Amino acid sequence: AQSVTQLDSQVPVFEEAPVELRCNYSSSVSVYLFWYVQYPNQGLQLLLKYLSGSTLVKGINGFEAEFNKSQTSFHLRKPSVHISDTAEYFCAVSERAGAQKLVFGQGTRLTINP
């Protein structure tokens, strides 16, 4: 079984500041890793995913994440945030075999202040 822990439930930052949203996971098997974003009153949208290869993954809207196998982490970063980045962010994992069911973290609410 897998589990995902997002270490911060809320992260407030000022506009144009950098941000890091932290994600740790636990799994007895190899996994794929995902970050999704949810804007208010909407469904989830994929930001980026790690399947294999380079541990630094670039996604949409200027976000990137780094897979660290030894620390079982997949932290999300953006060098300069915008008001429009205000949303809830979810880290998720899935097994590399089978139906690839997603296991989500609890979510991090990112609030951008002007």
Partner 1 sequence: DAGITQSPRHKVTETGTPVTLRCHQTENHRYMYWYRQDPGHGLRLIHYSYGVKDTDKGEVSDGYSVSRSKTEDFLLTLESATSSQTSVYFCAISETGQGATQYFGPGTRLLVL
Give the interface with partner 1 as residue ranges (CB under 8 A). 4, 6, 9, 32, 34, 36, 42-46, 49, 51, 90, 92, 94, 96, 99-107
Instruction: Give the CA distances from residue 7 to residues 4, 52, 68, 98, 114, in Å, rounded to whole numbers and listed in that order.
Output: 10, 24, 16, 28, 24
CB 54 to partner 1: min, Å: 14
Q: What is the C-alpha separation between 28 and 107, in angstroms, rounded? A: 22
CB 40 to partner 1: min, Å: 12
Nearer to partner 1 by C-beta: 15 or 88? 88
Structure-token pair, residue 90: 């979810």
CB 37 to partner 1: min, Å: 11
Nearer to partner 1 by C-beta: 4 or 21? 4
Query: Coil, strand, or helix at residue 109?
Result: strand
